[in-house]
Chains A and B, each alone.
Chain A
Amino acid sequence: QVQLVQSGAELKKPGASVKVSCKASGYTFTNYGIYWVRQAPGQGLEWVGWISGYNGHTNYAQKLQGRVTLTTDTSTSTAYMDLRSLRSDDTAVYYCARVLGELLDFWGQGTLVAISS
């Protein structure tokens, strides 16, 4: 069965970096893309970016351009989100989701990233 398993919660200080992983199983990783979506506490969903599992092509939300990098390791079927220069308003649950066209059909369990001095 398809599963996306994300890494555990992180507590970071302002200005630091965080790397969240999303390990996929149960399907051919290179046939799908991965979306990253975040949700601040009590707030709505915010699109972070997309990466192709096939060739690593990426698109990022303009708001996060320059601070976020999405990568994949096809040998382990794992996607990564690297977010730098962390600020308090980056505190959120970060989700990865499998995507093919407009179908976001499987989601990870979410990873809480908390920023606090």
Chain B
Amino acid sequence: QSALTQPASVSGSPGQSITVSCTGTSSDIGGYNYVSWFQQHPGKAPKLILYEVSNRPSGVSNRFSGSKSGNTASLTISGLQAEDEADYYCSSYTSSITRVFGTGTKVTVI
């Protein structure tokens, strides 16, 4: 199972909106609405910020939103803040009854 494809880096200014893409295949993203997004700050464990494409766990800011079209899922961060600077990973359920993560995207607030 190959990793899902994400851009290596995305940057934006405070207050702007940015979008991180995550591309898979019909055997993972395209086949199921089971896409999750994780935020990871340096030296910390990942934190779930979206699940089932667009659902936010309790306590996660509504500045984080998700969508999916075909084999590509997207994470949008609106009103970018300094604390959003982190690595972001997508993940999907697969037809092999396993999970696959994306390659990861470093979000920089400039």
Contact = CB atoms under 8 A, between A and B. Distances in A.
Interface of A: 35, 37, 44-47, 50, 59-63, 95, 97, 102-105, 107-110
B40 to A, nearest CB: 8
Contact of A59 (B34, B51, B91, B97): B97
Interface string B26-57: 00000000101010100001111001100001
Q: How large is the interface on B (under 10, 10 to 19, 20 to 34, 35 or more residues)?
A: 20 to 34
What is the interface of chain A mostly: helix, strand, loop, or mixed? strand
A99 to B, nearest CB: 10
Interface of B: 1, 3, 34, 36, 38, 40, 45-48, 51-52, 57, 89, 91, 93, 96-104
Contact of A44 (B51, B89, B96, B98): B89
Nearest to A35: B99
Contacts, number: 56
Nearest to B35: A102
A104 B89 CA distance: 13
B45 A107 contact: yes
A47 B98 contact: yes
A90 to B, nearest CB: 17
A103 B48 contact: yes
Given A104-B48, A107-B46, A109-B45, A47 B99 contact: yes
A63 B2 CA distance: 10
Interface-central residue, A35, A63, A103, by most chain B CB under 10 Å: A103
Contacts of B1: 61-63
Given A44-B104, A47-B101, A62-B96, A102 B51 contact: yes
